[in-house]
């Protein structure tokens, strides 16, 4: 099944919204298969956001993501990459639809609460930046047969 890397960003941790965000993704049916809390350093942040290097917002983005603890989570499920992106909503919370995490909980593009991988290929690379193969747990949930 597909895996997606989710980051609960520093603003969400500071605002006490980590539980709310994780809960929404769990309630959808996505399964947590790895999770850790950490504070990214600049080198890790630059690697994670390498595709944005050179853009006007890159330095602010790196400064923001290292500004406090984050929670990195691997969510697994059918179409997990798209499911997380849809639930996160548009990049700018001001444009994100009501019902999405960013639309419901955020105000500003520089404080948009959550990262979700944008493709299966990027998900795999992003997961490797935060987790080893042994960190990813494979297990069944009794509820899975009621989700699929």
What is the set of active-site residues?
115
Short-list 67, 58, 73, 56, CA closest to 21: 73
Among 23, 47, 63, 91, binds ligand DAT (CB under 6 A): 91
> Beta-carbon neighbour count of residue 58 at 10 Å?
16
- For ligand DAT, how many residues bind (rule: CB under 6 A)? 9
Nearer to Mg ion, 76 or 122 (CB): 122
Q: Quote the least distance from Cβ 140 to Mg ion, whole Å.
A: 31
Cα–Cα distance for residue pair 40/90, rounded to 1 Å: 24
Do the Cβ atoms of 75 and 3 come closer than 8 Å? yes
Among 7, 21, 61, 73, binds ligand DAT (CB under 6 A): 61
Binding flag, residue 82, ligand DAT (CB under 6 A): no
Name residues contacting ligand DAT, limited to 1-60 (CB under 6 A). Answer: 52, 57
Binding flag, residue 103, ligand DAT (CB under 6 A): no
Binding flag, residue 109, ligand DAT (CB under 6 A): yes
Q: Quote the least distance from Cβ 142 to Mg ion, whole Å.
A: 34
Rounded-to-10 torsion of CA 52, 48, 7, 82: 70
Cα–Cα distance for residue pair 58/79, rounded to 1 Å: 29
Name residues contacting Mg ion, limited to 81-140 (CB under 5 A). Answer: 118
Distance of CA 45 to the CA centre of its chain: 14
Element (H, E) at 6: strand 2-8
Binding positions for ligand DAT, rule: CB under 6 A? 52, 57, 61, 91, 109-110, 112, 115, 118
Binding positions for Mg ion, rule: CB under 5 A? 118
């Amino acid at each position: 099944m597909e895996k997606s890397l989710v980051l609960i960003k520093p603003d969400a941790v500071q605002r006490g919204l980590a539980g709310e965000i994780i809960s929404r993704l769990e309630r959808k049916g996505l399964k947590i298969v790895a999770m850790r809390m950490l504070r990214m350093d600049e080198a890790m942040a630059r690697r994670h956001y390498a595709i944005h290097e050179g853009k006007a917002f890159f330095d602010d983005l790196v400064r923001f993501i290292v500004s406090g603890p984050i929670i990195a989570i691997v969510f697994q499920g059918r179409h997990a990459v798209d499911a997380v992106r849809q639930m996160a909503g548009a990049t700018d919370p001001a444009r994100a639809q009501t019902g999405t995490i960013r639309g419901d909980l955020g105000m500003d593009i520089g404080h948009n609460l959550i990262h979700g991988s944008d493709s299966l290929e990027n998900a795999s690379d992003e997961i490797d930046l935060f987790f080893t193969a042994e960190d990813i747990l494979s297990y069944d949930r009794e509820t899975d047969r009621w989700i699929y």
